[in-house]
């Protein structure tokens, strides 16, 4: 727009120079030039009144140092030509603080070191998803500025993490209360940043780095717990096997008792004779002597 105004001023100067020297054509006179300049001015004013806010942004209106609290949403807007419109991003963003050199917003080791309830130092890698509240974008611009991430978000993350970790023992953070720790960090961040016009969407606790001595102790504790669970499983298995064998033995005893009670002398004689009949079909047998009782020892000549 400034370039167009510059060309307009240069054109006016050239016009007056050529007019004084009498070099202008007859159809070009001051009246026509004035009409043309008025038309150009109106066009420039109209074009300068148009503001386009892209998706994912809001426009902050500033006129002579005065900030209008009503923000411009995405789309085309007609505003006073002298109003300045500053764009602010309201899309979801992430802020990562990591020990890895190329992962975090700041290069190098940017993990957060914090103390636990038992006085040990741990390092945490964390990612925060956040976005600017569109309704409070004008207040953020006026009170904090466009660099609100460095001024507000980063310090709030560090404070929330240190306030949360000091409530837990290192063994709890490393195992069953990791999700609870993330929830504590989220709650404090959401409470502190929402007042400043920044909405926290999620806290991702990606990695917890413990001192080597603590890692070894935790590993030993976990190994002992796993071994204890293994022994409980083995003992339970042996107990069930013992119950199974007792039930099996009881069944066998009951079956033998039933068989003993059902046997009689006449049945045994009959069963004995039936087996002798089967032996008659044996081709290799010549003579079979089988005791029957004290009074009878049959002698069977089977022949060839």
As a whole number of angstroms, the longest Cα–Cα distance in the chain is: 168
Which residues does residue 86 pair with via DSSP β-bridges, in sequence order? 60
Determine the pLDDT at residue 198.
Answer: 92
Sequence-ordered list of residues with C-beta below 8 angstroms from that of 139, at least 6 positions apart, any chain? 69, 197
Distance of CA 146 to the CA centre of its chain: 28
CA quadruple 233, 235, 240, 244: dihedral sign? positive
Sequence-ordered list of residues with C-beta below 8 angstroms from that of 177, at least 6 positions apart, any chain? 168
Specify the DSSP class assigned to residue 263.
Answer: -
Please tell me whether the overall predicted TM-score, pTM, comes out greater than 0.85 for this model: no
Q: What is the mean pLDDT of each run of 10 residues along the chain (304 residues)?
A: 61 64 59 71 76 88 86 84 86 84 66 81 87 90 88 90 87 80 90 90 83 69 78 86 84 76 68 70 59 50 48
Helix axes 154-165, 178-194, angle to 10 degrees: 140
Q: Could you give the CA distance from residue 288 to residue 279 in angstroms, rounded to a whole number?
A: 9
Residue whose C-alpha is closest to residue 161's, from 220, 63, 258, 95: 95
Residue whose C-alpha is closest to residue 137's, from 58, 67, 66: 58
Residue whose C-alpha is closest to residue 85's, from 70, 103, 107: 70
- On whether the CB atoms of residues 183 and 165 are closer than 8 A, the answer is no
- On whether the CB atoms of residues 214 and 170 are closer than 8 A, the answer is yes
Q: Could you give the CA distance from residue 152 to residue 158 in angstroms, rounded to a whole number?
A: 11
- On whether the CB atoms of residues 59 and 86 are closer than 8 A, the answer is yes
Determine the pLDDT at residue 91.
Answer: 92
């Amino acid at each position: 727009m400034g370039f167009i105004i510059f060309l307009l001023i240069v054109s006016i100067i050239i016009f007056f120079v050529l007019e004084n020297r009498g070099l202008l054509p007859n159809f070009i006179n001051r009246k026509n030039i004035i009409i043309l300049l008025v038309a150009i001015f109106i066009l420039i004013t109209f074009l300068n009144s148009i503001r386009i806010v892209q998706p994912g942004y809001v426009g902050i209106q500033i006129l002579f140092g005065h900030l209008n609290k009503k923000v411009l949403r995405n789309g085309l807007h007609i505003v006073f030509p002298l109003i300045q419109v500053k764009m602010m991003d309201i899309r979801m963003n992430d802020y990562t603080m990591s020990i890895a050199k190329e992962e975090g917003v700041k290069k190098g080791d940017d993990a957060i070191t914090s103390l636990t309830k038992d006085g040990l130092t741990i390092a945490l890698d964390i990612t925060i998803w956040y976005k600017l509240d569109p309704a409070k974008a004008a207040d953020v611009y006026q009170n904090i500025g466009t660099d609100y991430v460095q001024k507000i978000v980063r310090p709030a993350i560090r404070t929330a993490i240190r306030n949360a970790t000091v409530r837990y023992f290192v063994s709890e953070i490393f195992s069953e209360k990791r999700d609870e720790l993330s929830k504590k960090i989220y709650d404090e961040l959401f409470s502190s940043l929402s007042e400043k016009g920044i909405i926290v969407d999620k806290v991702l606790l990606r990695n917890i780095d413990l001192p080597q001595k603590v890692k070894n102790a935790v590993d030993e504790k976990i190994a002992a717990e796993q071994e204890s669970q293994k022994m409980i499983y083995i003992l339970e298995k042996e107990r069930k096997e013992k119950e199974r064998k007792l039930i099996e033995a009881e069944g066998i005893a009951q079956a033998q008792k039933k068989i003993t009670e059902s046997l009689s002398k006449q049945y045994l004689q009959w069963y004995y004779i039936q087996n002798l009949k089967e032996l008659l079909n044996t081709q290799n047998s010549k003579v079979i002597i089988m005791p029957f009782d004290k009074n009878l020892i049959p002698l069977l000549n089977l022949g060839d």
